[in-house]
Amino acid sequence: MENSCIRILLVDDHAVVRSGLSAFLMAFDDFCLVGECSNGKEAVTMCDVKEIDVILMDMKMPEMDGPTATKLIRQKHPEIQVIALTSFKEDDLVKNALKTGAIGYLLKNVSADDLANAIRSAYHGKTTLAPEAAQVLVRATQQSVYPVTSLTDREKEVLILMVEGLRNPEIAEKLVISQSTVKFHVSSILSKLNVSSRTEAVSIAIKQKLV
């Protein structure tokens, strides 16, 4: 049974940004604000004591930056989805955020409706990228050759279900295989595509027209 609302944590070193986001979240019946943090270190600690579904994570903060916090949180709490929400669109920052496990990358000038939809998508395991972030991945794809043809038929099936936003237990149920087998296939896919996150693999699958 799903929660009655999506539990959200705000992480940003600017109090005025947190205040604005907090007011924004209160306008939606399906969102619940469970906490606010001013840096990544606080966010990591908060995830150990609160039940959280989605984090809106700033990237550049004191004490601990967004990518570092995202990596630590995703390692310990893989069920928590992280959306990078930042003013910066440098290629390296986008790549780092996605490599450390962020499911989305949005700029702070995003519209209220787009942000709300991104939160809902993240909750269901689906990626949302700002156009600028998507362009970074497109350029990376153009500069590198990803051996998609080296994937086995089963790996392609798993990858297609990853694109659809399914998580490992759901993929296992759909393909009638064990979760450990799914985990093995996902690891193999990431290795063959030379990426370190599901988000990057999904982006490549879309660009290579596997779906």
The predicted pLDDT at position 71 comes to: 93
**All structural domains of the chain:** 6-136 (3.40.50.2300), 144-207 (1.10.10.10)
The predicted pLDDT at position 40 comes to: 95
Q: At what angle do helices 153-163 and 168-175 cross, to 10 degrees?
A: 130
What residues of the chain score a pLDDT lower than 50?
A: 1
The predicted pLDDT at position 3 comes to: 59
The predicted pLDDT at position 201 comes to: 87
The predicted pLDDT at position 192 comes to: 85
The predicted pLDDT at position 210 comes to: 67
Residues 127-134: contacts with CB within 8 Å, 24+ apart?
127/103, 127/199, 127/202, 127/203, 128/83, 128/103, 128/104, 129/104, 129/105, 129/203, 130/89, 130/105, 130/106, 132/89, 132/94, 132/107, 133/89, 133/94, 133/98, 133/105, 133/106, 134/203
Q: How many CB atoms lie within 10 A of CB 3?
A: 11
pTM for the model stands at: 0.69
DSSP bridge partners of 33: 8
Residue 189, both tokens = 């896919």
The predicted pLDDT at position 1 comes to: 36
